Structure 1
Amino acid sequence: MAKVKFRLNDPRLAPRRTKMEIPGWSGTREPRANGSREQVWHCVPFSEGAQYGIELFYPYDFELRVTTRDGRLVLEADWGEPPEGGAEWPPFRRFGDAFYTYQILLDLKVEKGMAIRTEPHPRFYADRTDTVPIAVPALIRNWWPMMFFCVFKAPAEGRTHIFRPNEPFAQIIVIPEEANFELEPMGEEEAAERELQARRIYNSRPKLAAGTEWTSSSDTVFDGTYRHLHRAAKEKARNE
């Protein structure tokens, strides 16, 4: 099992593996049943993607509101006195008018050949208030000893991004430091095999979905085809 080691400048910034919060940003505990409102955790690909990384939490006791007014970025918070230890204060600052930064001072050490990449926290995609901070993707190599700052996209005119105490504001995923792959079209045999797989799933869908179909409160139809195949694939992998 791969390890990610961390070194903290502020113990309140301790990272953790990303978790789905139910109830919380990932929805309410509504069953997959007729009349329920669809939730992001109902979707297996989203749930797996959302829990793939490391989440970072806003460590301060006060709220920070980031707004764009008349084309100018405004950061509003009760910063108070600088903390002991000589940390830069305030830790958030404008980066032009289109971005802003957080002087995060977090060290995440990954294994050789790997890197860390910042990205928006998955709650950004489930948010309906347009207030979740938008972390800008950035890849940091493992030879760099500290993530000195994290960059965020500024909110649109009249919008406000809000950082609240103990609320996740960004996610980090661990990936190969080089994207060593090439895009190429499938050969005829491989393409035919994939097409056959797709047709078999399509033809078997009534059986695979039996007893799992439901219609949400917005009249969207769901079933458990992917979930059934997902469980079968994981079980097969464990037994190999």
Structure 2
Amino acid sequence: MHKIKYRFRDPGLRPRRTKLDVPGWGGEPEPRKNGSREQPWHCIPFAEGAQYGIELFYPFEQELRVSTREGRLVIEGQSGPDPETGASSPPFRNFGDQFYTYQILLDLKVEDGFAIRTEPHPRFYTDTTDTVPIAVPALLRGWWPMMFFMVFKAPSEGRTHIFRSGEPFAQIIVIPEEPDFQLVEMSEEEAAERELQARRIYKARSTLSAASQWTSATNTVFDGTYRQIHRAAIAKNRKK
């Protein structure tokens, strides 16, 4: 169990493990049965990937909108300068019209050998309104004591990104500092073993999906093979 310690300046910025909101950006609570509309949470790989990180929530009461109009970035919703610090709140800045920054003050202390990486919140991938902010991936190594700003991609012409109080606007994942891996082509023996595994799974699909197969509203057949093997693998690991 790895521990990630945090501190933050703005009330309401408190990070948490990402949760899949259903109903919400994770889809509607439609059961896996014939006639149901496909939902993001129906997909186990997406559901697991979406909940892998730490989500950040917009801490300010006033809504903030970032738009692109005639090629120029427009930020709406900032209050006037603070009389003591001179800073605007929410603290957003234009960054060359193609990007913009959020002057965030957040410290996530990870264990030695790890780093934090910013990325879009998973609700970006399920959004149909083009209003979800797009956080630009960036890696901060563990020795850096504070995240001072986050960069976001500017919306397309005529589009608007919206930051609302209490809504997640970005996700952070914890990864090894160094990408210590090497791409190596499989040996013939390894490739044959993987091919055999794939064929065994394919052959067993009718058995594995007997109790879970269903056809969606768009006539897509879901057989639940991955889900069944996934459950068995988790159960096996828990017994170790």
Q: TM-score per shorter chain, which class?
A: over 0.9
In structure 1, the partner of 2:87 is 88
Q: What's 2:144 paired with?
A: 144
Q: Is the 8 A contact 2:78 2:88 kept in 1?
A: no
> How far is 1:80 from its partner?
4.7
Q: How far apart in 2 are the matches of 1:198 and 1:151?
A: 41
Counterpart residue identity of residue 71, structure 2: G
Q: Any unmatched runs of 5+ in structure 2?
A: none
Structure 1 residue aligned with 2:48: 48
What's the counterpart of residue 28 of structure 1?
28
Counterpart check, 1:75 vs 2:57: no
Per the alignment, residue 176 of structure 2 pairs with 176
Q: Aligned runs of 1:159-198 on 2, under 5 Å?
A: 159-198=159-198
Q: What's the % identity of the aligned pairs?
A: 71
C-alpha contact (below 8 Å) 2:215/2:221 kept by paired residues: yes
Following superposition, the deviation at residue 184 of structure 1 comes to 0.9
- What is the match of residue 199 of structure 1? 199
Distance 1:83 1:53 in 2: 37
Look up the SS of the partner of 2:12 in the other structure: helix
State the TM-score, normalized to the length of structure 2. 0.97
Deviation at 1:113, TM superposition (A): 0.1
Distance 2:27 2:80 in 1: 34
| CA distance in 1 between partners of 2:71 and 2:104 (Å) | 26
Conserved in 2, the CA contact under 8 Å of 1:88 and 1:103?
Answer: no
User: Where in structure 2 are the equivalents of 1:216-231 lying within 5 Å?
Assistant: 216-231=216-231
Tell me, what secondary structure is at the counterpart of 2:117? strand
Alpha-carbon distance, 1:92 to partner: 0.5
Rounded to whole Å, the distance in 1 between the matches of 2:33 and 2:136 is 37
Does the residue aligned with 1:128 lie in a helix, a strand or coil?
coil
Equivalence for 2:209: 209
Q: 1:175-219, CA deviations, whole angstroms, 9 ceiling, x for partnerless residues? A: 000000000100011111000000000000000011211111122
- The structural deviation recorded for 1:88 is 3.3
Pairwise CA RMSD: 1.3
Deviation at 1:48, TM superposition (A): 0.4
Answer whether contact 1:6 1:108 (CA < 8 A) is retained. yes
Distance 1:82 1:49 in 2: 40
Q: CA deviation at 1:81?
A: 5.5
> How high is the TM-score relative to the length of structure 1?
0.97
Unaligned runs of 5+ in 1: none
Task: Name the CA shift for 1:140/1:83 in 2 (closer, same or farther; >3 Å).
Answer: farther
In the TM superposition, residue 147 of structure 1 has moved relative to its aligned partner by 0.4
